[in-house]
Amino acid sequence: MNAAGRVVVVGGGVIGAACAHFLAETGWTVEVIDQGRFGHGCSHGNCGLIVPSHVLPLAEPGAVRAAIQAMFQKNAPFTIRPRFDPSLWTWLGRFALRCNARDMREAGRARQNLLQSSRKLWDELVVGQRLDCEWEHRGLLFVYHSHTAMEAYGHVDQLLRDEFNVAAEHWDGDELVQHEPALKVGLAGAWYYPQEAHLRPDRLLSSWRQRLEDRGVQIREYCQFKGFLHKGSRAQAIVTNQGEITAHAFVVATGALTPRLNRDLGCRIPIQPGKGYSVTMPRPARCPTTPMIFPETRVAVTPMQSGYRLGSTMELAGYDETLNRNRLQLLRDGARPYLHEPYCDPVEEEWFGWRPMTFDGVPVIDRCPQMENVVIAAGHNMEGVAMSPATGKLVAELLNNSSPHIPPGPYRVTRFRWPW
């Protein structure tokens, strides 16, 4: 396909922005549409961690047992809202089948290709595009309260070293507080990944939008996708609440909402919305310098230049649009045992977003089976920001029929087995 054509990107989150960037860079005339405001979906309030160490999926040995135990715990970081939803229970069944060492390693290799490529591309993008996103390269800490849990992670560290060449530094409790005095004395210790980075997602999307518009990308907000007009195996246009939009190619980057387009796409994308939460506030007086995760409470902490964010938890509650204040309190409670000042006032934003969760932990980046000029880029689980540059580059390579910079096979939509 000639790259000097017109392409419409459906979805204005970080994946859509990355696709628009690399398509415009290779000569396409690009328009991005979003049913709401650009950059205000799940890309807005996440923790902004760029984490090449996060190669392992949630579907790992022991995950089913842990999930079942969590369902019977009050205020557990992970919860499933009981309801009649065949797609959810089918997804959970497929997730359970993936919780073995072989499938975990397979998914890890696919995730690592995206994460490592994106980590390099982020360095280039932030400088080359002058992205004002509070980019910092300070690594990431996995902080443990319990010595047992701390040492148990040693098996994961060994796996990451041996099979993925990802190594962490082991810090005991004394070393930890020397490096990070915002943490309390008496913690078991931490595992430190020096290669990680972080940014402020809302600032990223605001800045990236400006750069896209500077190079001629059109962004249309409150433009709701209603379907494709196609002829044979090619889409001709999309129908929206603002009229028909014609193009030579289309990219569907609609995150957790992608299953709602299954009928239009002619295939089934097995994504569940995994509801995550965050609280943003000013930096406390004793603010950490390094982003950190507390695996025992599943809370992440991001110290940003202009603020401070607590985030995470996972709630499989469907497309529920309510802000569950109990989940927000879990973030505060989960940070309290570790930090001298785990939170402060005033709260600037309380937020939730739907993470696009595939049961195998690997996104879909592939041509639509029914329409050869439509590419799907969705299902990045909890790593949309971390994986977005490599995703955008791969989407551009697919539409340009050029050699892919990473193997595309693991991200094919045809890897799923139907019916769903």
Grade residue 142 by pLDDT with cuts at 50, 70 and 90. Answer: very high
Domain that holds residue 338: 56-99+135-197+272-358
Number of helical H runs and strand E runs in the chain: 10, 20
Residue 81 has what pLDDT? 85
Domain membership of residue 347 (yes or no) is yes
> How many alpha carbons fall within 13 Å on the CB side of residue 93?
8
Grade residue 83 by pLDDT with cuts at 50, 70 and 90. Answer: confident
Residue 220 has what pLDDT? 98
- Antiparallel, parallel or unpaired: β 349-358 and 364-368: unpaired
Evaluate if residue 300 carries a pLDDT over 60. yes
Evaluate if residue 276 carries a pLDDT over 80. yes
- Determine the average pLDDT of the residues in 324-346: 96
Residue 124 has what pLDDT? 97
What Å distances lie between residue 36 and 33, 235, 274, CA to CA?
9, 23, 20
Domain membership of residue 415 (yes or no) is no
Grade residue 69 by pLDDT with cuts at 50, 70 and 90. Answer: confident
Residue 73 has what pLDDT? 73
Grade residue 309 by pLDDT with cuts at 50, 70 and 90. Answer: very high
Domains held by the chain: number: 1
2 burial (CB, 10 Å; 0-12 / 13-18 / 19+) is exposed
Domain membership of residue 225 (yes or no) is no
Domain membership of residue 407 (yes or no) is no
Evaluate if residue 419 carries a pLDDT over 70. no
Domain membership of residue 66 (yes or no) is yes
Reading the block at residue 42, the tokens are 């799940």
CA dist., res. 17 & res. 392, Å (int) = 8
Evaluate if residue 91 carries a pLDDT over 70. yes
Residue 65 has what pLDDT? 84
Residue 4 has what pLDDT? 64
Domain membership of residue 205 (yes or no) is no
Task: Find the range with the poorest average confidence among 53-67, 192-206, 370-384.
Answer: 53-67
Residue 418 has what pLDDT? 56
Burial 109-143 (b: 16+ CB within 10 A, else e): ebbbbbbbbbbebbeebbeebebbbbbbeebbbbb
Give the dihedral sign, CA 200/202/205/206: negative
Helices 14-25/384-400 angle, 10° precision: 40
Report the candidate in 44, 43, 48, 41 with the shortest Cα–Cα distance to residue 303: 48
Residue 149 CA from chain centroid, whole number: 26
CA dist., res. 403 & res. 372, Å (int) = 17
Residue 307 has what pLDDT? 97
Domain membership of residue 14 (yes or no) is no
What are the backbone dihedrals phi and psi of residue 259, each rounded to the nearest 5 degrees, phi first? -60, -25
Domain membership of residue 28 (yes or no) is no
Specify whether the CB–CB gap between 98 and 137 falls below 8 A. no
Q: Would the pTM of this model clear 0.85, i.e. be above it?
A: yes
Grade residue 1 by pLDDT with cuts at 50, 70 and 90. Answer: very low
Mean pLDDT of the chain: 95
CA dist., res. 246 & res. 248, Å (int) = 7
Grade residue 280 by pLDDT with cuts at 50, 70 and 90. Answer: very high
* 370-400: pLDDT as tens digits: 999 999 999 999 999 999 999 999 999 999 9
Residue 242 has what pLDDT? 97
Grade residue 41 by pLDDT with cuts at 50, 70 and 90. Answer: confident
Residue 193 has what pLDDT? 98
- Determine the average pLDDT of the residues in 88-117: 96
CATH of the domain at 330: 3.30.9.10
Specify whether the CB–CB gap between 250 and 375 falls below 8 A. yes
